[in-house]
Amino acid sequence: KDIEFIRSYYYNKLEYTRFSSSVGKHVGFTEYGVKNAEYWNNNPSYLSAMKAQKEGYCLNNIQIKYDNAL
């Protein structure tokens, strides 16, 4: 529960959209990012795939990262 998957999208050093597993959807920060976030959030298959990234990527690799940090 303490792990969060975040995928940020940048263009020209400006973050325009971010997906956060704690929010469960994309959030847009620019006009272009808001349009992309609305499109991605209205696609249930893409949204469920992004939600599954936490389990597929983070939870499988957390023990490896933790052991390396010690």
Determine the Cα–Cα distance for residues 7 and 10; give it in Å rounded to an integer: 10
Q: Are 28 and 17 in contact (CB under 8 A)?
A: yes
Pair type for strands 25-28 and 14-20: antiparallel
| Span 3-26, average pLDDT | 93
**Domains assigned to the chain:** 6-68 (3.10.320.10)
* pLDDT value of residue 41: 96
pLDDT tens for 28-39 read: 999 999 999 999
- Evaluate if residue 15 carries a pLDDT over 70: yes
Q: What is the pTM of this model?
A: 0.75
* pLDDT value of residue 44: 93
| Span 43-61, average pLDDT | 86
